[in-house]
Amino acid sequence: MVYVRQEKLPNLKEYKYSGIDHSLLSRYVLKPFYTNFVIECFPMWMAPNLITLSGFSFIILNILTLLWYTPTLDQDCPRWVYFSWAIGLFLYQTFDAVDGSQARRTHQSGPLGELFDHGVDALNTSLEVLVFAASQNFGMGWKTVLTLFGSLLTFYVQTWDEYHTKTLTLGIVSGPVEGIVILTLVYAFTGVMGGGSFWQQSMLRTVGIPQFAFIPDLIYDMPFTEWWMVQGGAVLVLNTVQSSLNVIKARRARGDKSRGALLGLVPFFTTWTLIPAYLYLNPDILHNHLVPFVVFAGLVNAYSVGQMITAHLVKLDFPYYNILVVPLAYGVFDSLGPFLQSHIGIGWPSALGDGGYQVAYMFSMLGMAIGVYGSFVVDVIVTICDYLDIWCLTIKHPWNEEEEAKKAK
């Protein structure tokens, strides 16, 4: 399948990165650390995309330790596992931030870097949900699903915002900066306290706040995990509203209607109508096979995000269609028949049932997602590299200051 037509490729040469970071933590702490110290650790011959991919390898290591020590996401791990998750995520954030500096100092900045960087971030979003769920002993259940929803919506909305405004905007509090730092501290603290079971106790009681008469038992007994949900939900709403306002403002400044842009949120919420429906209708998947399903859902979102980034780079229409939703929709339809039959007496038989065939179908959806997203990534990267005469993970044309000066003369 061709994802980028040849006649659209000249738009790549008009690409210019535009980003605004309002984070005080980034401005006064992280960026000075990256630009004054970390960047010097990388040789000039190392391609920026190779740095990005190297950082992602730390996340893969975190997932492997998770699958070994707590595959059900609800078991306490050895302390060193949590510390390794903190270190791995910190290194991922560091490598992910430094690749831009490396691109500028090696004069390798370009549209491929943004596509590669965002693509890796999209994959990490769902994988990090699994690590966080394991650090909180969420287990396979709705708390993990809600966390996945919030994380994927945040990333989708941020990319949707960038598509319409042509600028990547990070607020005073954002997922790529403060969010990752908070997660790193949470993992480290979990290691200090000896395991994720620490977060299952009442937060107010643990920190020593007495139960005043005006505090209901329901609130006073809320564990840390549920307070995380409240805090995450508030930040999610604020970021979504802010991004929507950014898009409306940018569209109106260009004389375009904002309603068309807001329709770009429909694909995400359509997918997330099907995901909880499928899990509700198939509790075996929810409670026994949620880890591979989370990876599937993450790939569905990564494909949508990748299409948006590609459309932004080569100036295509907004991508509303995601082929990976089709098998998910069929899974819901197939499971809905027996459910309706048992509740209202009218339905249709299931072709998959609720046993091994349903599990096999879920893994088939995962396999399809890997194939479709993998073919998309390879095709777009190869197309861009061929057109711009560059390589993806190595520097094909090293910067030579003397030669460039001669060309300028």
Catalytic residue chosen out of the listed positions 22, 118, 164, 397:
118
What kind and span of H or E run contains 169?
Answer: strand 168-170
Report how far Cα 356 is from the mean position of its chain's Cα atoms: 30
Give me the phi and psi of 21, to 5 degrees please.
Answer: -120, 110
Packing angle, helices 325-344 and 266-281, rounded to 10: 50
Assess whether 397 carries a catalytic annotation: no
Give the residue from 146, 128, 139 showing the smallest Cα distance to 289: 139
Question: With left for phi above 0 and alpha for psi between -120 and 50, is residue 390 left, alpha or beta?
Answer: beta
Hey, is 7 helix, strand or coil?
helix
User: 40: Cβ–Cβ under 8 A, 6 or more apart, which residues?
Assistant: none
* Listed residue (296, 320, 19, 59) closest to 158, CA to CA: 19
Q: Is 226 exposed, middle or buried (0-12, 13-18, 19+ CB in 10 A)?
A: middle
Give the contacts of 217 (CB within 8 A, at least 6 positions apart).
Answer: 211
Percentages of the chain per state (helix, strand, coil), in multiples of 5: 75, 0, 25
Residues with catalytic function:
118
